[in-house]
Amino acid sequence: MEGAVRTVRGSNMTLAQRAWNIRRKALLMGEVQGQGYIGQALGIADVLAASYFHALEYRAEDPEWEGRDRFLLSIGHYAIALYAVLMEAGILPEEELETYGMDDSRMPMSGMASYTPGMEITGGSLGHGLGIAVGMALGLKRKKNPALVYNLMSDGELGEGSTWEAAMSGAHHKLNNLICLVDFNNQQADGKSTEMLCSEPLEAKWEAFGWHCQRVDGNDLNAVVAAFDKARAVSEPKPRVIIFDTRMCKGVPFLESREITHFVRVEADEWSKALAVLEEGKPQ
Ligand SMILES: Cc1ncc(C[n+]2csc(CCOP(=O)(O)OP(=O)(O)O)c2C)c(N)n1
Ligand SMILES: [Mg+2]
């Protein structure tokens, strides 16, 4: 328990506090523009906290350090969530928060590799992150670089054929330096993922494709951390996937209970209300 909630990055801030900070920063950015994929950001905040404050190797002052673990945001529309954790990690300066989504900002609404330090790929065209991750992982292996490649993708991307081609080739090349993270929020543009194009039984599917697979509650920090640790410790020569079941809008109950859609509507006066509600749940 203790090991799971405490960050390994030289501060005594807990992962729960990090996740809360990520949610707060994402809400502040959403408030700036009056919109944003906030449901996704609130849902994935725990996974991002564990990624950047427990699992990944990187140097905040040198985002292109050759030895860094690569974190690919296949889902470009989750950019607001990644900016929040990049700021929390010190890779992006917090002063830029208010520029989110503006002309000339380094933080456009969809993730763009050429704009933002720490944004490894331009990922808005869904279904391509895993293929890029396979190529990167293969390249790192050939260069004898021990860095890991993490690819964060969505449940909607499980409906893309390119995802499964990439999965097959990752296993073929025995990419034990590749960890795929699936945000299973059971939502996509037109409704619930399980009703649009059901990918179940998901664990059996990944395993049949030759991957080591785990499935955990993505809003349970202890389970998330344990899954990262296990994924890194696997000795079999195969790529690893962790499916995170997450809850959209997690941490802001009045949004959680709203009829959840891909683009959660937040009225102009509700951003400050959401921040106030989040404040009530601030971890000690
Ligand atoms: C190849 C491709 N097809 C369609 C889209 C349009 N699109 C943007 S987000 C989205 C929803 C995809 O599902 P998921 O990523 O699970 O959505 P969320 O959980 O954020 O609702 C779609 C279809 C796209 N960006 N790329
Ligand atoms: Mg989804």
Ligand 1 atom 3, closest CA: 126
Burial class (CB in 10 A: 0-12, 13-18, 19+), 61: exposed
Residues of the chain under the 50 pLDDT cut = 1-7
- CB of 74 shorter than 6 A to ligand 1: no
Q: How much is the pLDDT for 2?
A: 39
Question: Mutual orientation of helices 38-50 and 15-33 as an angle, nearest 10°?
Answer: 150
152: CATH: 3.40.50.970
What pLDDT, on the 0 to 100 scale, is given for residue 12?
Answer: 76
Structure-token pair, residue 98: 């208010």
Q: Is 247 in the pocket of ligand 1 (CB under 6 A)?
A: no
Q: In the chain, which ranges are E strands?
A: 70-73, 149-154, 178-184, 212-217, 240-245
Number of structural domains the chain divides into: 1
Which domain range does residue 217 map to? Answer: 2-280
Nearest ligand to the CA of 153 is 1
Q: Is the CB of 36 under 6 A from ligand 1?
A: no
Closest C-alpha residue for ligand 1 atom 10: 189
Amino acid letter, residue 247:
R
